[in-house]
Structure 1
Amino acid sequence: MTAAPIATDRVIHWRGGRYLCRLVTPQTETARQPVLVLSGGLQNRLSWARLERSLGTQHTLLIPDLPQANPSERPQARLTWKDLTDAALEAPTQLGFEHFAALGVSSGYPIAYRLAQQHPDRVSDLLVFGASLQPGPGLTALLQEGLQRQAASSLRRDEEPGPVTTSTEGTRPRLRHQESVEKLVNLLTNQEAARHTFTIRAAARVLRNQLADSPLDPLVAYVADRGHLLLDSPLPQGGIDQVRTLVGVGEHDNVTTVEDNRSVASTIRDATFVIMKHTDHLMHMERDSDFAELITRFLHQHPLSVADTHSVRL
């Protein structure tokens, strides 16, 4: 039986500030390259327990909590995709890893893509899941609503506090919170596919519970993290031609569709494109063991013979 990997938090210093990076180390000796895991919105360094138990037994994992890109309380500290890419590169650099694979999921994909494009001498492999050249209409509308809520929250903080005169006023934040939870769950999971796919329903339930427990409006938190940046050219021009790349999508993904991901893959020379059945945008949650096996097989240059997964070389 393979021993569980060892996980510790490391402090990464960047531009006078700092952020935490979870370092997951296999207990067995390995010469395999580390994997820099760039999470999507609403995730953090503690969101990858299942991947740690599988991929983390063979590869060192670096999972950073990157700085917020759009903190409403400090508008002067807003960051761009370039800033976040620079911040992400500091994790392997400061932890002593010259070469690494970059795994970008959901809104982590623009950062992983830029790392491979700008630092092909350091990125051995690129793995991108749930990507698009531009956000679709559903995500665009939700991001714009989130920005409006963030602006309204900032205005309320700037106003002088007054007495609460009715119980109704106290319920409004809770109602907005619940509304945000449902909107995000309905966007990130395919409700139609969930009717006949248990794993999609299960992932939706987990996501709903996590968002409901959040002390912040999850929609405001999503745009404050880096969601708003998706509205402004998520991917740079120029493509990628020097890094082995895998682009993957769930067959029922209605946030970044199969065609959206295929379009991203077409910007990368000799990319491998995979479609995983019975999953949507949360494929890493819905088929976590197959997701880890797919990554392992690609990194080890083995045939991508994962159940219910179709692959093609573009």
Structure 2
Amino acid sequence: MPEEIIRTLSVDGVRYSYRVLRHDRGAGAAPATEPALVLGGALQGMYGWPQMDDHLGPAADVVTADLPGMGSADPLPPGPSADILRRAVLGIADDLGAPRMNLFGFSYGTAIAFGFARRHPERVARLALGGVPVHIGAAQVERWERGRALLAAGDQEGFAALAADALMCLDPERPVYRRELARRYVRRSFLHALARSPHAADSLHRALADRPDFSGGLSGVPALVFAGEHDTVTSPERQREFAATIEGSRFLTLPESDHWVVLERAVEVAELVARFFTEGPPASAPVSLPRQAGAPVGRTR
């Protein structure tokens, strides 16, 4: 059985925690790669990544976290949060005693991972980013403002429905694998998070109000950026343009998926990230991914 370790840290007096999952690899056997820290959306905590545990665990110590303002952690203080979140990640790396870590950021977590890599490239072995919200259009902003109003009015059911729809491609002309299943799951996840965390609403407000900075480029860190081909939060084309600002990076789209590619294509994403962290950047040719229900494989651009 894997060994699970949970540690509590603090940054600027804000308590947060992280979890390490270590597999038994046999006497004297070391992990194949550096620890892998997984950073997700504003309401995705340390227990939301079982597929990463399964696919990364044999090769690396898998690290997940309730960063400040998320899950069981203390709420964030008023004001910009990017710096305190980056220092929380640095605290995890230091507490692990890891000179370098692999970083995987999804959605909101991409801003934290990318910002950390820009400021501490020497601490990042490889960087994988999925569903990068590089550009949020006026329609998305207006929809999220309506969501904030629903939350303020106490309508959690209405907010969960609006938020799930805002993050998904509902166009019937664009096929999305397990769309309705994913839609129901996302709604339930929002409601569950709002019910169990006293500051979940504040975390959502902050995630919606913050304008993450993806400028400045990056060099010296092997990087992979991927998107669902029907991502309606930020188009794959804009995410590809962002990937081009990272020296030597690769960009890949996964078919029949949208912004929630990590849910709709959970196995493919976990396999892709695990392979990238253990074997380096994918080749220029199309990457062969495990198929689900006869779906086509992923493709690079």
TM-score over 0.5 (shorter chain): yes
Structure 1 pair 232/75, CA: closer, same or farther in 2 (3 Å)? closer
Secondary structure of 1:21's counterpart equals: strand
Q: Does structure 1 conserve the Cα–Cα contact (< 8 Å) formed by 2:35 and 2:61?
A: yes
Aligned to 2:293: none
Structure (1/2) with the larger helix percentage? 1
Aligned to 2:156: 177
CA distance in 2, matches of 1:295, 1:232: 27
CA distance in 2, matches of 1:5, 1:46: 15
2:245 is the alignment partner of 1:267: yes
Aligned to 1:121: 122
Aligned to 1:203: 182
More off after superposition, 194-203 vs 125-134: 194-203
CA distance in 1, matches of 2:205, 2:90: 20
Counterpart of 1:279 (choices 257, 267, 279) is 257
Aligned to 2:288: 305
Runs of 4+ in 1 over 6 A off after TM superposition: none
The CA deviation string for residues 222-275 of structure 1, in whole angstroms up to 9 with x for no partner, is 6x2266356554125321011111000001111121122112212211210000
> What amino acid sits opposite 2:188 in the alignment?
N
The CA deviation string for residues 13-56 of structure 1, in whole angstroms up to 9 with x for no partner, is 22223211111112213241111111112211111012211212
2:235 is the alignment partner of 1:244: no
Gaps of 5+ in 1: 154-172
Aligned to 1:170: none
CA distance in 1, matches of 2:139, 2:167: 10
Q: Matched residue pairs, number?
A: 282
Secondary structure of 2:171's counterpart equals: helix
Aligned to 1:7: 4
The higher radius of gyration belongs to 1
Q: Does structure 1 conserve the Cα–Cα contact (< 8 Å) formed by 2:35 and 2:60?
A: yes
Aligned to 1:101: 102
Secondary structure of 2:178's counterpart equals: helix
> What amino acid sits opposite 2:115 in the alignment?
R
Q: Within 5 Å, which residues of 2 pair with 1:1-314?
A: 5-28=2-25, 29=29, 30-68=31-69, 76-148=77-149, 152=152, 173=154, 176-193=155-172, 196-216=175-195, 221=200, 224-225=202-203, 228-229=206-207, 231-299=209-277, 300-301=279-280, 303=283, 304-307=287-290, 308-312=297-301
> What amino acid sits opposite 1:250 in the alignment?
G
The CA deviation string for residues 128-176 of structure 1, in whole angstroms up to 9 with x for no partner, is 11113332234322333355566x57xxxxxxxxxxxxxxxxxxx4xx2
CA distance in 1, matches of 2:140, 2:228: 17
Structure 1 pair 117/259, CA: closer, same or farther in 2 (3 Å)? same
Paired-residue identity, %: 27
TM-score by length of 2: 0.83
> What amino acid sits opposite 1:32 in the alignment?
T
Secondary structure of 2:38's counterpart equals: strand
Aligned to 2:294: none
CA distance in 2, matches of 1:104, 1:235: 14
RMSD: 2.7
Q: Does structure 1 conserve the Cα–Cα contact (< 8 Å) formed by 2:218 and 2:247?
A: yes
TM-score by length of 1: 0.80
The CA deviation string for residues 196-228 of structure 1, in whole angstroms up to 9 with x for no partner, is 54422221121122233445499x936x22663
Shift of 1:190: 1.4
